[in-house]
Amino acid sequence: MSESTFANDDAGDSENALKYFNQIQDHLLIEQNVRERLAEYLTKLDQIDRKIQAVIQKLHRNPVQSVVYETCNVIREECKQTIEIYRGINNCLEGFHYYQFHDVWKFVTQRLSSAACLCVYLESGQLASHETAAEMLGISTKQDGFFLDLEDYLHGLLSLASELARLAVNFVVSGDYKRPQSISDFLCSLNSGFRLLQLKNDALRRRFDGLKYDVKKVEEVIYDLSIRGLIKK
């Protein structure tokens, strides 16, 4: 008979039952506790994410060179703030597992990674590697400590594709007919890259299915520009 839970033969054992269930509840409360502490850090990350989103909207409104420059500066500045926050999150996880609470920071990290990659693209036309994106957020890619989950980074890239597709349209609106072409090339490369991944039927796969619409959107922009002789193909 289990001494640590309760026996069912006499009514007086409901006390034992209560004691045992209190132990179980303590287990749950420990995890609850960690989530509450993580929630505070999440709020800070959300604030940074909102600031970055605001500056990206400004970029869409008027994507001239000076605004592009300012956008990248803001993104880099805000990302510097995330270093402390991720360190705080890592400390909360002491004695626990990364993936136990991954769902807490998953979505906001995807958006921040996407912003970091946007910044690198706007500055250099290149794809920020997994390591680069992680570095900008002040975290690593190695799984011995706090890291940028690979799938989160890939989700971020797919968001980036949508953002750039929209930006291509807005570049044209602002009279820049050259940048859409490089965006088109970039999205095509991303598309071939993603096709190399043998994705199963999961969230990443469903998100990836949307990439072809972004590619198509930019191709239409290029088509509109080239038949009017606004760009040389």
Give the residue with the Cβ less far from another protein, 60 or 81.
Answer: 60
* Binding interface with another protein (CB under 8 A): 1-2, 4-9, 11, 14, 17, 20-21, 24-25, 27-29, 31-32, 35, 65, 68-69, 97-100, 102, 123-127, 129-130, 143, 150-151, 154, 178-179, 182, 185-186, 189-190, 192-194, 196-200
Tokens coding 154 = 């890939």
CB atoms within 10 A of CB 108: 21
Q: DSSP class of residue 202?
A: S
Give the residue with the Cβ less far from another protein, 48 or 171.
Answer: 171
Q: In the bound complex, what is the minimum distance in angstroms from residue 81's beta carbon to another protein?
A: 23
Q: In the bound complex, what is the minimum distance in angstroms from residue 67's beta carbon to another protein?
A: 12
CA–CA gap between residue 174 and residue 177 (Å, rounded) = 9
Give the residue with the Cβ less far from another protein, 2 or 95.
Answer: 2
Q: In the bound complex, what is the minimum distance in angstroms from residue 46's beta carbon to another protein?
A: 18
Tokens coding 176 = 């820049």
Q: In the bound complex, what is the minimum distance in angstroms from residue 232's beta carbon to another protein?
A: 13
Q: In the bound complex, what is the minimum distance in angstroms from residue 181's beta carbon to another protein?
A: 9
Give the residue with the Cβ less far from another protein, 79 or 157.
Answer: 157
CA–CA gap between residue 183 and residue 171 (Å, rounded) = 10
The Cα angle at residue 121 between residues 116 and 123, in degrees rounded to 5: 95
For residue 169, count CB atoms less than 10 angstroms from its CB and return exposed for 0-12, middle for 13-18, buried for 19 or more.
middle
Q: Where are the alpha helices (DSSP H) in 62-199?
A: 65-92, 102-124, 130-136, 150-173, 179-196
Q: In the bound complex, what is the minimum distance in angstroms from residue 124's beta carbon to another protein?
A: 6
Give the residue with the Cβ less far from another protein, 74 or 190.
Answer: 190
CA–CA gap between residue 61 and residue 95 (Å, rounded) = 46
Contact 49, 108 (CB under 8 A): yes
Give the residue with the Cβ less far from another protein, 102 or 216.
Answer: 102
